[in-house]
Structure 1
Amino acid sequence: MTARSEDVPLRCLVVDDDRVVRETLVSIMEAAGFAVESAADGREALALLEVERPDLVISDIVMPEVEGIELILSLRERHPDVVILAISGGALKQEGDLLRYAAALGAHAVLPKPFRRRELFEVIGRILPPEKAARMRF
């Protein structure tokens, strides 16, 4: 007997070096019905991506080790079907520039921090394929 696609949880990888942000996003995404893995930087994320294939990657841009831009480039090359949401502190002009750069390099959407849960879900609902977005719990 095979599992129906709606019985298999959507998979999400959250990548952020800020522990509080990372843990908050993990909780939010789990509540939305995702099976969630997390990583503190791009290096950890790339290691997880060798064994896991998420439907969605939510990645900070400015991180130690391997930054979000490098992660996006690697994802586009190795796993072009993975949907990417780039996030970063929106208060600084540099962060806004980095988000525009992330979008130009292959992030499906960008979201400046801080953001509200509603904003997060609106963006994710737009960038996931409709059959996957319909399975999210808000």
Structure 2
Amino acid sequence: MTDNKSKYIFVVDDEKIIAQTVAAILRQVGFRTAAFENAQEAIDAASVEAPDLMITDVVMPGLSGIELAILFQSRWPQCKTLLFSGQAITADLLEDARKSGHQFDVLSKPIHPSDLLAKLNELA
């Protein structure tokens, strides 16, 4: 993702401050971002303009981040997904997704901004 200005990133986390903070960090380095507190908000927004990348928490009320990522893969296949989580249950959820043929990169919370940016550059 060398050309940050052309990349649109969704940040989805049920903890509002996390979603807003990650989105703000990404804006500071030139990405266009949108922060959402739940999966449905992200789905609705993607129907208007799909992102190039979605960063989503795994464990959220309603749709999990993994369920959201799978939905995005089917509706917006050009959108890459990066999961992040601070919860132990994530490993079980990821294993279930892998058994269904879905593979996702996962970062642990809390994540240092430089580590997040390095991962985004890997996904380019």
TM-score of the two chains, using structure 2 as the length reference: 0.85
Greater RCO (Cα-Cα under 8 Å, separation 6 or more): 2
Partner Cα separation in structure 2 for residue 125 and residue 99 of structure 1: 23
Aligned: 1:125 with 2:121: yes
1:9-67 deviations in Å (ceiling 9; x for gaps): 32111100101111110111101211111211111111111011211100111111222
Whether contact under 8 Å (2:70, 2:102) holds in the other structure is yes
Counting matched residue pairs gives 120
Of 6, 9, 15, the residue aligned with 1:9 is 6
- Overall identity of the aligned pairs, in %: 32
Q: How does 1:21-40 map to 2 (within 5 A)?
A: 21-40=18-37
SS class of match (1:20): helix
Q: How does 1:21-60 map to 2 (within 5 A)?
A: 21-60=18-57
SS class of match (2:83): strand
Partner of 2:65: 68
Partner of 1:132: none
Q: Once superposed, what is the RMSD of the aligned Cα atoms?
A: 2.0
SS class of match (1:12): strand
Partner Cα separation in structure 2 for residue 102 and residue 113 of structure 1: 20
Partner of 1:3: none
Partner Cα separation in structure 2 for residue 99 and residue 29 of structure 1: 26
How far did residue 100 of structure 1 move? 5.3
How far did residue 8 of structure 1 move? 5.2
Of 89, 94, 97, the residue aligned with 2:92 is 97
16 and 54 in structure 1: CA distance in 2 versus 1, 3 angstrom threshold: same
SS class of match (1:36): strand
Q: Which runs of 5+ in 2 are unaligned?
A: none
How far did residue 118 of structure 1 move? 1.3
SS class of match (2:77): coil
Larger Rg: 1
Whether contact under 8 Å (2:83, 2:107) holds in the other structure is yes
| AA aligned opposite 2:72 | L
TM-score of the two chains, using structure 1 as the length reference: 0.77
Between 1:56-65 and 1:98-107, the stretch displaced more is: 98-107
